């Protein structure tokens, strides 16, 4: 199984032509996991979103039993969210995000699609406010997510879905955070 998982990354295919009314979103590669930063309505703030296993991320139960359980069986998922002050650029993100970032991948998308995704994610967050839990280790506020977390529905897979919602083509099903970007064909 480990051999099968080592190559499980994804390729993001940039469109041939620029999107209408473009904005830049930032894909954060944290090594094994991913998160996504969406710009706010102006250049004074942005919001970071992540997805993962509730026990592992929200409750910081990072022992091997928790990790094994999350990979082997569907578990309660979580949506993490944090509003970050400052312009939505790589330098500001690196200074505001408290967890390691292996790579930041800027992607241009249509502003309409970015707003739509942000509204959808914020709706999930607001709907689950009664479950909100802040975790200082990740510097995120977590709420329960309605979809189960599993190996096939992990942080990288969810970020791939979000990128598709933004109008980008994503090839492959990323188990690990091994993102590649190529121009459209």
Whole-Å CA distances, 165 to 51, 73, 112, 169, 170: 15, 26, 11, 9, 10
Reported pTM = 0.90
pLDDT digits (tens, 9 = 90+) for 26-79: 999 998 899 999 999 887 899 999 999 999 989 988 787 776 776 778 999 999
Q: What is the pLDDT of residue 70?
A: 67
Residue 3 pLDDT > 60, yes or no?
A: no
Residue with tokens 């993102």: 179
Q: What is the pLDDT of residue 72?
A: 77
Considering only residues 132 and 66, tell me which one the structure prediction assigns the higher pLDDT.
Answer: 132
Q: What is the pLDDT of residue 176?
A: 64
C-alpha to C-alpha distance for 85 and 62, rounded to whole angstroms: 29
Name residues whose C-beta falls within 8 Å of residue 7's C-beta, 6 or more positions apart in sequence: 178
Residue 1 pLDDT > 60, yes or no?
A: no
**Averaged over 74-101, what is the pLDDT?**
94
Mean pLDDT of the chain: 89
pLDDT digits (tens, 9 = 90+) for 162-179: 999 999 999 887 766 778
């Amino acid at each position: 199984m480990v051999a099968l998982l080592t190559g499980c990354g994804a390729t993001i295919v940039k469109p041939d032509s620029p999107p209408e009314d473009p904005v830049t979103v930032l894909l954060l590669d944290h090594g094994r996991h991913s998160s996504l930063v969406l710009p706010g309505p102006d250049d004074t703030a942005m919001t970071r979103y992540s997805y993962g296993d509730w026990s592992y991320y929200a409750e910081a139960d990072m022992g091997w039993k928790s990790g094994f359980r999350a990979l082997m069986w569907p578990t309660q998922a979580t949506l993490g969210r944090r509003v970050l002050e400052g312009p939505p650029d790589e330098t500001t993100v690196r200074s505001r995000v408290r967890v390691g970032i292996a790579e930041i991948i800027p992607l241009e998308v249509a502003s309409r699609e970015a707003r739509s995704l942000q509204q959808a994610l914020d709706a999930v967050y607001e709907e689950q406010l009664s479950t909100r839990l802040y975790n200082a280790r990740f510097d995120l506020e977590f709420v329960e997510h309605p979809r189960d977390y599993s190996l096939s529905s992990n942080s990288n897979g969810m970020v791939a879905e979000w990128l598709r919602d933004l109008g980008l083509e994503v090839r492959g099903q990323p188990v690990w955070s091994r993102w590649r970007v190529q121009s459209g064909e």
